[in-house]
Amino acid sequence: MREPILSVRDLSIVYRTGRRTSVTAAQDVSFDLYPGQSMALVGESGCGKTTLGLGLLRLLPRLGQVSKGEIVYRLKDGMSVDITGLAKEELRRFRWHEAAMVFQGAMNSFNPVLRIGEHFTDTLRSHEGEKRRTRAEITARATELLSMVRLEPERVLKSFPHELSGGMKQRILIALALALEPQVLVLDEPTTALDILTQRSIVEQLHELRERLGFAMIFITHDLGLAAELADRVATMYAGRIIEKGSAEDVFYEPRHPYTVGLIKAVPPVIGDLPELSSIAGSPPSLADLPSGCSFHPRCEWAVDACRETVPSLTVLTPRGEDGGHAAACLRAGDIEYTRKVVARA
Amino acid sequence: MPEQTESAPLLELSKCEQIFRTKRGDVRAVAGVDLEVRPGKVLCLVGESGCGKTTTARAAAGLTRPTAGWVRYKGEDVNTMDSASRQAFREAVQYIHQDPYASLNPVRTVYSTVTAGLRRHKLVKTRTEARAKAAELLELVDLTPAESYLDKYPHQLSGGQRQRVAIARALAMGPQVLIADESTSMLDVSIRVSLLNTLGRLRDDLDVGFLFITHDLAVAKYFAWDGEIAVMYLGEIVEQGPTPQIINDPQHPYTKALISAVCEPDPRLAREKKTVRLRSSEIPSLTALPSGCTFHPRCPLFEPGLCDASAPPLSLINGDARRLACHVVARDHGPARAGAN
């Protein structure tokens, strides 16, 4: 049995909203990520997926903080460390070496007045260990990284961000994140706002890089297609909690939480017959004012009285696979059936 | 033009061309496009950013005057029609923008936004009547109970609710054509499908014709299943035909690439799927268009001497149902007949 590279246990993240008020953006989140595995965090805007992603690298904004739980990484040297307890300097050495992040919005992730080459210098210098790299070493590394994402290093290193297309910038961000060979890469909406053909080339690049370098990957997305394409495992988030997790096959073919079923029924496929699509009634609750019991109950067609009172915990349904197999947080998980009605034949 | 329905087109673009004159030279954003929107039907325009989809839509809505060609509404040229017809055109053809955060005036209430056109065109007499009409419109777009939305400001609404308000505003004038420019692309999946279903009801129940612009082929397939898809590349239509045919049996290498690039929400299909590899992922600049077929630098079927020599005409294939602009495919399909171009 292999050991997870990242174990998150009962993690809660709160944002302070006033002198005495706060909202919980991620609540009791637990999962394991294994070396080389790819996990998708899916959910709609405001479900807490970006907060969780930032929390995994302790990159939360000033008003946000981990209020509970642990985030344990197994480091390259074999030691395990809970990063919720790390001091600033230790965090600096942890980030980029062990885990790196590709932020949402490639357009806004660069300093517009610095050339791409200088971004590599800055990143490598600020996260380097005892040994200071020379300029030539940095250029050599940047050249290697950029060729890995199929860009022309000479031209790109000399360019300013505005001279490059969105797809190129996204690839550069991925190259930058891989600069110090992290074991875990967290990507926040890596293909949103890119054209479809560019999206495709980023997806293929990520497949290739992962095969070649063997890093594990957590990517945050609202696009179920991307999750189906890239993920070994999928975790659905709703109102700050993971409400279902399992292998991509489990979650897509046998979803057992009504919210996951709702999401899948809302996504049109491009291949094959045309299924009937339906939306989930109502809208997501405000995190500051969550419904009692299961936060999904006001929108759920399967809800019974007990759903109003009890917060369901993530319960294992089929134990096959790592990280507890397929689990859902629904009192009626056993009754949920998913079928697709076809309205037009291909 | 493929002809399957007997109803006359409401909106017609013929040889429509839009050239922007810039310091770096002329930019041919739309290069001679022929399109027709019929009542109760959807014409879906797909393509990458910068291919001229929005420019085409703006010309179709009469917001810009094409540098060549015509836009006709019920047979009349919208850029030369008299002011009475122009007003009727303005009422009948409405535009829904992409970004509901930008398209609503933040200091106006929902009531004020939705009824602005009605009041402007003096279609309501009293405030009571206007409020009743606004409530009716909000119900039509599933904002219920309507009373609770009338006095809200855009900042009090979610993205999906705002887009519904924008649609209610467009419906206020009783339009016959809706031009929806990426109107659902910024929304979450569940809200998106609920809006598409709302628009679908308008299409089926009120016989509204749609010029529907999207870069998402899965959305195009869903919304335009009974209609048509036109694929645009660098200002030109490269393939057009009934939606099921375009999606299930694309002919142009660009259409094939677009369809195969869609991330399929099905892990097994996603793994088995073969994607079309293009020779380059960069789109050429509109100021320095490639010779011949403008797709040739990226095209997997590229044949030197043929594709870079002359531009392929948009010709009819498969009987009269489809149009295609590709030298290689047209040759392999047998003799092409002259198209509507």
Residue B216 has pLDDT above 70, yes or no: yes
Note whether A260 and A329 are within 8 A (CB): no
Nearest-CA distance from A62 to chain B in Å? Answer: 25
Note whether B224 and B40 are within 8 A (CB): no
pLDDT tens for A221-265 read 999 999 999 999 999 999 999 999 999 999 999 999 999 999 999
What's the rounded Cα separation, in Å, for the pair A101 and A59? 9
Please give the average per-residue pLDDT across B147-172, as a whole number.
91
CATH of B11-249, one of 3.30.70.260, 3.40.50.300, 3.90.1150.10, 3.30.70.120: 3.40.50.300
Quote the pLDDT of residue B159: 84
- Name residue A186's beta-bridge partners: A101, A218
Note whether B161 and A246 are within 8 A (CB): no
Is the reported ipTM for this assembly greater than 0.85? yes
Quote the pLDDT of residue A129: 67
pLDDT tens for A123-169 read 888 887 667 788 899 999 999 999 999 899 999 999 999 999 888 99
The verdict on a CB contact (< 8 Å) between A225 and B221 is no
Select from B139, B194, B136 the least CA-distant residue to A283: B194
Which burial class, exposed, middle or buried, applies to B85 when counting CB atoms under 10 A from its CB (0-12, 13-18, 19+)? Answer: middle
Q: What is the residue extent of each domain of chain A?
A: 257-346
- Mean pLDDT over each residue of chain A, to the nearest integer: 91
A196 chain-B contacts, CB cut-off 8 A: 48, 215-217, 258, 261-262
Nearest-CA distance from B199 to chain A in Å? Answer: 13
The verdict on a CB contact (< 8 Å) between B264 and A167 is no
DSSP letter at B337? B
pLDDT tens for B182-191 read 888 878 888 8
Long-range contacts of the stretch A212-215 (C-beta < 8 A, 24+): A212/A148, A213/A178, A213/A181, A214/A35, A214/A36, A215/A36, A215/A178, A215/A181, A215/A182, A215/A183, A215/A184, A215/A185
List strand residue ranges (DSSP E) for B102-226, in order.
177-181, 209-214
The verdict on a CB contact (< 8 Å) between B190 and A280 is yes
Residue B339 has pLDDT above 90, yes or no: no
The verdict on a CB contact (< 8 Å) between A196 and B216 is yes
Which burial class, exposed, middle or buried, applies to B1 when counting CB atoms under 10 A from its CB (0-12, 13-18, 19+)? Answer: middle
**Closest residue in B to A286 (Cα–Cα):** B158
Note whether A264 and A227 are within 8 A (CB): no
Q: What is the residue extent of each domain of chain B?
A: 11-249, 250-341
CA atoms B55, B59, B63, B67: torsion sign: positive
